[in-house]
Amino acid sequence: MLVNYGRFAYFRPALKKGGSYYIFFCLLLAGFSAHAQQHEIGVWGGIANYFGSLNPTFTNWHYVHPAGGLLYRYNLNKRFALKGMVSYGEVSGNDATSKIAFDRQRNLSFRSSIADVAGTFEFNFFKYNKNNPKHNGFTPYIATGFGIFFFNPEAYYKGRWYYLQPLGTEGQNDPSYSGVKKYKLFAFEVPLEGGFKIHLKKNWNINVFAAARETFTKYLDDVSGTYASTASLPGGSHGIAAALANRSGEVNDGINIGKQGTQRGNGRNDQYVFVGVAVTYTFMSLKCPPPGQDWPYR
């Protein structure tokens, strides 16, 4: 019997020695195949948007910025998967676009880059199996988990950008006076994600998703509590910290609403969201053919 060993001709001597070698090699390939199909790697691109004291309404998408990253998915079975995602983007907010009169008078603004690392547990609503025509090549899914992100808010003033955390705009540099401690430039988060998985030809997949981040910080935008006394700010009333802590005098004929102890932020944790499209590749697996046939990839 003539056997075509194809691209596996390197193993021809072993295979000619007997069926036991053939069976062993098939089992080896089967083990590799089953393991390989569990892994996906990919990239994603989309947008980021922020919600917090400087954008309290979830319908305001005025300041959307590009975002993207890398992801890895481990498919536990047809219903469940574990995913790790590393993302980078920028968020911003500006009272000038608010429909709320108080916000426009407050006149604060910020921007911040975000580096985000999150791990999630995914649930597929349909059985998602890329290699079995009896199962769906499409499914909606939801996911949640835990993550951490890094940020550094800054504001534009008189032709240049200033990092806000070192200035302690709510009195963080003098906690004995203001009672407010300096916040860290990283925070933990709870990801809440939903989307769709679509299997394309061969090993390629597309995911369309929206991933909200419920954060454990009120200072993504550097705004949280009340206006501090200028005595607790670096440079006092004439310093850059005072100028960026209370900018209400720059609009509406210089009306000042930033009196000590009055409301500056909403006091709630900030949020942001990624919306995007991911393209992933499932690691190639090998199929052991019957004797006498070539060894194809699938």
Per-residue pLDDT tens digits for 196-231: 999 887 789 999 999 999 999 999 999 999 999 998
Is residue 249, in this structure, part of any structural domain at all?
yes
Q: Domain span at residue 176?
A: 39-282
Is residue 12, in this structure, part of any structural domain at all?
no
Is residue 261, in this structure, part of any structural domain at all?
yes
261: left (phi over 0), alpha (psi -120 to 50) or beta: left
Task: Count the Cβ atoms, other than its own, within 10 Å of residue 82.
Answer: 16
The tokens for 274 are 């990624």
Highest mean pLDDT, choosing among 100-104, 172-176, 272-276 = 272-276
Confidence (pLDDT) at 269: 96
pLDDT surpasses 90 at 274: yes
Number of domains in the chain: 1
Residue 156: CB partners within 8 Å, gap ≥ 6? 109, 111, 162
pLDDT surpasses 90 at 4: no
- Mean pLDDT of the region 4-24: 46
The tokens for 255 are 């009306």
Contact (Cβ atoms closer than 8 angstroms) between residue 253 and residue 179? no
If one compares 57 and 169, the residue with the highest pLDDT of the two is 169
Residue 52: CB partners within 8 Å, gap ≥ 6? 93, 218, 220, 221, 223, 265, 266, 268, 270, 271
Is residue 26, in this structure, part of any structural domain at all?
no
- Pairwise CA distance, residues 294 & 189, whole Å: 51
Is residue 11, in this structure, part of any structural domain at all?
no
**pLDDT > 70 fraction of the chain, expressed in percent and rounded:** 80
Q: What is the DSSP string of 112-177?
A: EEEEEEEEEEEEESS-B-TT-TTSBSEEEEEEEEEEEEEE--EEEETTEEEESGGGTTTSTT-HHH
Q: Which amino acid is at 252?
A: N
Lowest mean pLDDT among 21-30, 118-127, 136-145, 284-293: 21-30
Confidence (pLDDT) at 8: 42
Confidence (pLDDT) at 108: 96
Is residue 145, in this structure, part of any structural domain at all?
yes
Is residue 66, in this structure, part of any structural domain at all?
yes
Is residue 30, in this structure, part of any structural domain at all?
no
Distances (CA, A) of 265 to 95, 166, 198, 206, 258: 12, 18, 42, 39, 11
Alpha helix stretches (DSSP H) within 192-264: 240-245
Q: CATH number for the domain including 118?
A: 2.40.160.20
Per the prediction, the chain carries an average pLDDT of 85
pLDDT surpasses 80 at 70: yes
